[in-house]
A and B are shown apart, each in its own frame.
Chain A
């Protein structure tokens, strides 16, 4: 590892992928640049899934330590932001396993249905046409939470179960019910 403590953070035009390969080569300056770019939105997104700021900060820290250790495993495929989020959400699951929160204030109420859904969400949900946003909005909070954790956050049923504080089997049955409800809604 080279000494990088005195280097300044990287320039604007350097891509996240470039930064990740510099991190893989042991550059703490690249790690700092990556942190400066991504820490804010990660904090916000984690905070929506965990009400305790101390846990969010701990998860953020774990996430970048993990990025430092495993940057070499980023294949260059897909968005670096998605890769980092994949680490962060799993660190949050781990944190919940260590200290289960008193309540899971996750994926709360619905008032606003302006969903700009992505094509891949539709593929993952197995639905093709219609008002997905509206249909999602009409799901019960339990079913919607499962859709979010599995489809949108990309967690496995087991991980989603830990995050939501329910058994993996429950996640599976809720996901089946959610898919059925969505297809029915969209077929109308």
Chain B
């Protein structure tokens, strides 16, 4: 063994490497071996045969799995906790509209609307104008271009596009309806006003989805929002009919739009993969 003290040419040989690996050298020699290993790749390589390859492969497999699996979000873990299957849980959890910022935004908008409604007679009209737009915006956001780090998962998941669409839409609409539903009873005025937004909300959402087989979801959502606001805002501005959104014609028109769009969506369901190709 070539062991001249202080020599910079000092290296391990296979015998010393083996002895070190088996714990057969003193602490002091081990220390110098370890100091040398930090600086010498050739001597580090001498230790490769001393650890079983199968052991290292097993650890590597664990490392790879950990670094390639996106960390499960709180929502995903909650869903898994109530026995939602893994694929659906990931699908739901990865929906952008379900991130805290969106929900928080909805809550802030609604709180402001309710407060305004109490401060000012027109406030309730503002609430009725805004509430129907929110679920649609959430769904559009769920499929929009900003959306999807999970499109690979979506493509690989054993779900049809229709299943994906249904799961996401239902979850997003539900997650938006809950805060709106909670805010509505705090509105001044009669009980009808606190549910008048529901039908237009569903109509806008389904119409947006029907249009999304032709144009990008966020464009459909912007167009429909503009149209909806163009119908209800004039009433707000002139306060001649501030509660237009709750009036029968608007409700009937909403019902008609809902029916037509749902039918169209059903007919066009084979075009739905288009929707995902465009947004993914």
A85-135 at interface with B (beta carbon < 8 Å):
85, 107-118, 121, 133
Q: For B30, give its contact among A16, A48, A65 (CB under 8 Å).
A: A48
Q: Are B60 and A112 in contact (CB under 8 A)?
A: no
Q: B22 CB to closest chain A CB, in angstroms?
A: 9
A61 at the interface (CB under 8 A from B): yes
Which of chain B's residues have a CB closer than 8 A to the CB of A44? 20-21, 47, 50-51
User: Do B64 and A37 have beta carbons less than 8 Å apart?
Assistant: no
Question: A40 contacts which chain B residues (CB < 8 A)?
Answer: 44, 47-48, 50-51, 56
B74 at the binding interface (Cβ < 8 Å)? no
Q: Are A65 and B63 in contact (CB-based, < 8 A)?
A: yes
Interface string of A1-30 (1 = CB under 8 A from B): 000010000000000100000000000100
Q: Does A81 contact B (CB under 8 A)?
A: yes
Give A82 to B34 CA distance when docked, in angstroms. Answer: 10
Secondary structure of the A contact surface, majority rule: helix
Contact B32 A41 (CB under 8 A): no
User: Are B39 and A152 in contact, with the CB atoms below 8 A?
Assistant: no
A47 to B34, CA, bound (A): 13
Number of interface residues of B (CB under 8 A): 40
Residue of A nearest to B48 (CB): A40
Cβ–Cβ contact A81 & B37, under 8 A:
yes
With a cutoff of 8 Å between Cβ atoms, the chain A residues found around residue B5 in the complex are: 114-116, 133
User: Does B58 have its Cβ within 8 Å of any Cβ on chain A?
Assistant: yes
Using a CB–CB cutoff of 8 Å, the interface residues on chain B facing chain A are 3, 5-7, 10, 20-21, 23, 25-32, 34-39, 41, 44-45, 47-48, 50-51, 55-56, 58-60, 62-64, 66-68
Residues of A that sit less than 8 Å from B by CB: 5, 16, 28, 31-32, 35, 37-41, 43-45, 47-48, 53, 57, 60-61, 64-65, 68, 79, 81-82, 85, 107-118, 121, 133, 136-137, 144, 148, 152
Q: Please list the 8 inter-chain residue pairs (A to B) with the smallest Cβ-Cβ separation, ordered nearest first.
A: A112-B26, A116-B32, A41-B47, A64-B63, A40-B48, A40-B51, A41-B44, A68-B67
